[in-house]
Structure 1
Amino acid sequence: MIAIIGKIGVGKTKFINSLNKKYKIFISDDFITRIYKKNEIGYFLIKKNIGSFVLNESGVDKSKLFLWLKKDKKHWILLEKLIYPILKKELENGDYDFVEIPKLKSENFDFSSLFSLILCLSTTAEKHKKNLKKRNVDNSKINAINEKNAPKSIINALFTKIPIVNIYGNKLWKYAKNKKFLQFLFSIS
């Protein structure tokens, strides 16, 4: 499996969706959204271990959850301990080719052993800002998420352990359409 990492708003989802026709892909955010729905496993774990104050009529309210997470670092740790084992099980059983995963490694959990290659995407500051504006994400959320998934710290931690390919550009999704590039990735993974 090849992991796709990068800061929020860099173009990871567009890149991986460009691979969808030929490869089996997995988007972590979509999976989390699914398990946060009412009566799904993530919903029940959060309700039991965190409380119903972060829920709404359809499931886990991500805005309420984020406000709670910002209050204390221990909250992030608890959420990771609840949700990451479910995510890991899905990745182990899913037989995916490419996985968009914002946080590959944390203090309490390490997904890196599941991957044969890491693809780290980055773009220009201008393009990054434009992407974030489209998503209507406020600065406090951007900073909190970027602090948690910090691609550079992941690269430093895994340097020499797993092959890492850095891709920098404005139209990253075009790499996903390039057969030679994809053949190269699979040859080194």
Structure 2
Amino acid sequence: MATTTSNGRDRYSTVAIILHWLIAALIITNLVLAKLAEGASGSARSSLMGPHMAIGISVLFFSIIMVLWRITHPRPPLPAELAGWERVLSKIVHVLFYILIIAAPLAGWLLVSSHGGSKGIDFFGLFTVPDLPVSADKQGHELIDTVHKNLGGAFIYLIALHVLGALKHQFIDKMPYFHRMWPG
């Protein structure tokens, strides 16, 4: 649910703001871990991929909560000052984010599950997330790996577009835009 500030501008609910920043931090951390793991091997790679997989499960969990929250609590209306093309682009970017925050972790979980000999995903030593019920298949595993990596790459471009749009609205258009999703 949206709330209205003293200047009459609508902002996201506290729950939506917390989920937004939590998921953003987890995704950025995972992108960094994946990049670091690319150049690593052996135990160094494992020490990076273990947290990467556990964070991916966290992203999936919080993303499902966020989608359910979004369905039951509509986002605040876009500022009237936005041009039509900005409104359309905003909706497209948000839909793509919702697709990615579910699809990327699911693809990662499927990737682990389709690897022969997987024993599930260790969730920070607290418990093990079981594999999805899929059989080990080398070709399928390679395809899922490609999809998962491409979804990660799409995140980078989408995050950049999202941040640039927010900065444009705040500093070039002089709209007090950050308050919509900023804590406090």
Q: Please tell me the TM-score bracket, short chain as reference.
A: under 0.3
Q: Which TM-score applies when normalising by structure 1?
A: 0.25
Q: Which entry has the higher C-alpha Rg, 1 or 2? A: 2
Q: Which TM-score applies when normalising by structure 2?
A: 0.25
Which of the pair is proportionally richer in helix?
Answer: 2
Which of the pair is proportionally richer in strand?
Answer: 1
Tell which has more relative contact order, 1 or 2 (C-alpha 8 A, sep 6+): 1
